[in-house]
Amino acid sequence: MTRFAAPIAEQIWDMKYRFKASDGTPVDETVEDSWRRIARALAEVEADPAAWEGKFYEALEDFKYLPAGRITAGAGTGRAVTLFNCFVMGTIPDSMGGIFDMLKEAALTMQQGGGIGYDFSTIRPRGADVKGVAADASGPLSFMDVWDAMCRTIMSAGSRRGAMMATMRCDHPDIQDFITAKQDPARLRMFNLSVLVTDAFMDAVKADGSWDLVFDGKVYHTVQARDLWNRIMRATYDYAEPGVIFIDRINQMNNLAYCEQIAATNPCGEQPLPPYGACLLGSVNLARLVKNPFEADAALDEAALDELVRTAVRMMDNVVDASRFPLEAQAQEAQAKRRIGLGVTGLADALLMVGLRYGSEEAAAQTERWMKQIARASYLASVDLAKEKGPFPLFDAEKYLASGSLRHMDEDVRDAIRTHGIRNALLTSIAPTGTISLYAGNVSSGIEPVFAYAYTRKVLQKDGSRTEEEVVDYAVQLWREKFGDAPLPDHFVNAQTLAPLDHVRMQAAAQKWIDSSISKTINCPEDISFEDFKDVYLEAWETGCKGCTTYRPNDVTGSVLSVSEEKKAPTVVAEGDGEPQTPHGDVIYMSEPLDRPQALEGSTYKLKWPDSEHAIYLTINDIIINGHRRPFEVFINSKNMEHYAWTLALTRMISAVFRRGGDVSFVVEELKAVFDPRGGAWIQGKYIPSILAAIGGVIERHLISIGFIEGEGMGLKSDPKAEAVAVGEAPRGKACPSCGQYDMQMVEGCMTCRSCGHSKCG
């Protein structure tokens, strides 16, 4: 009997979390082996490892406790990777040397697989004086471009590019440029952006007052606060960025306000962190803890929840000691405060099982009760750990208990902390769980509503063909097993039908008992008015949220395919062709490779790499499909025999990819990201990190010249004639960069693919 509730769960495990040798041979034969590996690794720091290994395994068994992806993939493998998901890096000095020292630290962190967050508010604005060199400053946005280029170059552990968060204060003189920076689709593609909004700014917005943009005590500009707020709102309304972080509230409610100041978050926003702070994440799967689902007496097993939380806290505390860290400053910060972020997944499924409609006042009240129980159990478990192992080194009982989030904690918990101390400074956070929720049987993600109760997923087979399989939400699958084809009850709602303020209500209900923050996307309908859209953010502010992220599908952001139990994918008739097709835009997916015509048109390019005796010649041939030109094959030749093997391999691999069709622009991105540890070269005034990156650049220029991609660093060319869209169907956005399917959805602030689980944020 398999432990996996759905085929996609086993595929995610095999692809992302199964331990394999360097040659791809599985070391974990079963998922039980993975659980055993993790349990053993986290028990090794205990005085009695054998006793705790069994308890840790029991918590992991059947996907009840889900450590974050870094832990699941890395614990017990012996590999030099960090088990922490994300970091906020050190404060960036306002000097050229300091800025590039920070860039180096960022590269080292991302090389081990950590996402990073930075506050760029500390860099002087564009046009400010640079003393001693008679020059004007280029401003923080120019240095963000440097970070973005670095992130493209570094491949994170587990074959995943690192994610980055950039924040900027609402009173920085360059804030207006920051707000609009990503409206250039080729710029800052590796960053999520958020504005640090202060209480004073929100007061000025409500009063329609003026607002000074200041750096180092100097006022550079004065604007109307409401005008600046409208700029932020208009940008996120049209482009889904930047997000908003209520930074004063974060610092006021921080348990460690007495010894740290926060100015940035990790890439998905659920972990506001001080300089060199790290987020250690895990989730309790509420969907697995409901007794008698869909029955009149359905209820969460509170005793099981309490026990599971206590075990999870101990496991996460052990990760602090078991993990490697890219930088010594990160290790010291983690040891000094031992901050963890235990959250939940499967909340929406659990609510469905007990008969509550997600977003209703009753569901919000139940969510608040469950979150309080988790918070109590977490804090009491950490007190018990403090009795056994000692409190975190910077613990100060009087100052700690006076902090914002502790003031409304139950008195018995406060008394326990006062008497015995506490092992972990912060304990709760709700992180993105898109991939691990699929791994756990397609439970609802984090505290998000169910996105779709069932959808059809296209699966790429070994022979290159694609088959279809139904992916069913965990709660819906249970309903089918109990009641067969009986219609779903009225309280089954999904992300597409919920009112935005229902999302806000749920986020606010959970936030009261979460001492860090929450990663959540508030889905807004495309036709929501701008004024109503702004009200979503004001409601988030008024109801105690620490930040707000929305997603409104439109012509710029695209939208995901509509899904339902009854409807099939729409069909269209392409111009000049009487056969109905499922719309795939100008991307053509093939189960078999394209046939090669007798003759193809192409171009040959000469590439001269410095210090190399012989040039490399690239010939790229194209094929015309439905009137559109696309790359078909590549030939790479050189007289240098040292290059023979790899140029031949590259020729065959790239040509095989091109002949499969689809969005093959990722080939360019992958090649351009390769760096040579021996050093790159300057070509035509631009630094190229390797000869492979140079080949990628040549292919990119060719794809631009034939109109296949928009421009340098950009994706497929947008051509209204290239896509046949059903009448009334919304644009679907970009294809998944991993599998090519148009199944990207915004989940917990990050675009995630429903077909393969790919997510920029993990």
Q: How far apart are CA 453 and CA 469, in angstroms?
A: 14
Q: What percent of the chain has pLDDT over 70?
A: 86
pLDDT value of position 661? 72
Strands 547-548, 686-688: parallel, antiparallel or unpaired by DSSP? unpaired
130: helix, coil or strand? strand
Mention every residue, 6+ apart, whose C-beta is less than 8 A from residue 464: 590, 591, 592, 593, 660
- Whether 640 is catalytic: no
Range list of H helices, 323-357: 328-337, 347-353
Q: Which of 86, 170, 268, 545 is catalytic?
A: 268
Least reliable range by pLDDT among 26-30, 203-207, 467-471, 679-683 = 679-683
Q: How confident is the model at residue 646, as a pLDDT?
A: 83
pLDDT computed for residue 347 by the predictor: 98
φ, ψ for residue 734 (rounded to 5)? -85, 155
Residue type, 146: V
Question: Which helix or strand (DSSP H or E) is residue 469 part of?
Answer: strand 466-472
Q: pLDDT tens digit string along 698-755?
A: 999 998 888 888 777 666 664 433 332 333 333 345 566 555 566 677 766 677 776 6
CA distances from residue 43 to 18, 72, 315 in whole angstroms, order as listed: 19, 14, 8
Strand pairing report for 191-197 and 454-460 = unpaired
- The per-residue pLDDT of the chain, averaged, comes to 86
pLDDT (0 to 100) of residue 582: 30
Give backbone dihedrals phi and psi of 296, rounded to 5 degrees, phi first: -65, -30
Report the pLDDT value the prediction gives residue 599, as an integer from 0 to 100: 80
Predicted confidence at residue 495, as pLDDT, reads 85
Angle CA 9–427–420, to nearest 5: 140
Predicted pLDDT of residue 228: 98
Q: How many CB atoms lie within 10 A of CB 1?
A: 3
**Gap between the Cα atoms of 422 and 412, Å rounded:** 14
Query: Cα(345)–Cα(429) distance, rounded to whole angstroms?
Result: 11
Q: What is the mean pLDDT of residues 482-500?
A: 92
Reply yes or no on whether 270 is catalytic.
yes
* From 260, 270, 633, 700, the catalytic residue: 270
- pLDDT tens, position by position, 293-305: 999 999 999 999 9
467 in Cβ contact with 761 (< 8 Å): no
pLDDT band at 677, cuts 50/70/90?
Answer: low
657 CB-contact burial (10 Å; exposed 0-12 / middle 13-18 / buried 19+): middle
- Name the nearest CA neighbour of 83 among 28, 51, 45: 45
User: Is the per-residue pLDDT at 257 higher than 80?
Assistant: yes
Cα 29 from Cα 37, distance rounded (Å)? 11
543 pLDDT band, cuts 50/70/90, is very high
Residue 15's pLDDT is what?
87
In angstroms and rounded to an integer, the radius of gyration of the C-alpha atoms of the chain is 26
Task: Supply the pLDDT for residue 708.
Answer: 85
pLDDT tens digits along 100-115: 999 999 988 887 777 8
218-224/243-246 β-pairing: unpaired
Mean pLDDT of 597-620: 84
* Mean pLDDT of the 84-111 span: 92
Go through the chain and tell me how many residues it has: 762
pTM over 0.85: no
Q: How far apart are CA 689 and CA 676, in angstroms?
A: 6
Beta-carbon contacts of 348 under 8 Å, excluding residues fewer than 6 positions away, are: 358, 444, 447, 448, 449, 450, 475
Domain chopping of the chain, boundaries: 106-264, 601-711
- Top pLDDT among 684 and 470 is at 470
Average pLDDT (198-223) is: 97
Q: What is the pLDDT of residue 535?
A: 97
Residue type, 395: F
Give the pLDDT band of residue 463 (cuts 50, 70, 90).
low
pLDDT for 464 beyond 60:
no
End-to-end Cα spacing for the chain: 29
Instruction: From 693, 653, 646, 683, select the one nearest 153 (Cα to Cα).
Output: 693
CB 190 within 8 A of CB 152: yes
pLDDT category of residue 762 using cuts at 50, 70 and 90: low
Distance CA(193)–CA(175), nearest Å, equals 11
What's the pLDDT at 714? 65
Task: Please write the tens of the pLDDT for every residue from 331-357.
Answer: 999 999 999 999 999 999 999 999 999
Six-digit token string for 642: 């040292």
Is pLDDT of 468 > 60? yes
* CA separation for the pair 210, 134 (Å, rounded): 33
β-pairing verdict for 341-345 and 264-265: unpaired
- Of 366-380, 433-447, 463-477, minimum mean pLDDT range: 463-477
Active site residue 268: yes
List pLDDT tens digits, range 634-672.
Answer: 998 888 777 778 888 888 888 888 887 777 888 888 888
A 10 A CB-CB count for 180 gives 16
The predicted pLDDT at position 114 comes to: 74
pLDDT at 751: 72
Cis upstream peptide for 242 (omega within 30°):
yes
pLDDT at 402 over 80: yes
Band (150; pLDDT cuts 50, 70, 90) = confident
d(CA 75, CA 161): 20
What's the pLDDT band for 430 if we cut at 50, 70, 90?
A: very high
Task: Dump the DSSP string for 383-446.
Answer: HHHHHHH---TT--HHHHHTSGGGTTS-HHHHHHHHHH--S-S--B-B---HHHHHHTTSPPPT
Q: Is the pLDDT of residue 155 over 70?
A: no
Among 274, 268, 275, which Cα is nearest to 243's?
A: 268
Of 85, 192, 254, 266, the catalytic one is 266
Q: Supply the DSSP string of 83-131, one letter for each residue.
A: S--EEE-PPPPSSHHHHHHHHHHHHHHHHTT-EEEEEGGGSPPTT-EET
What's the whole-number mean pLDDT along residues 692-702?
A: 90
Lowest mean pLDDT among 36-40, 120-124, 671-675, 720-724: 720-724
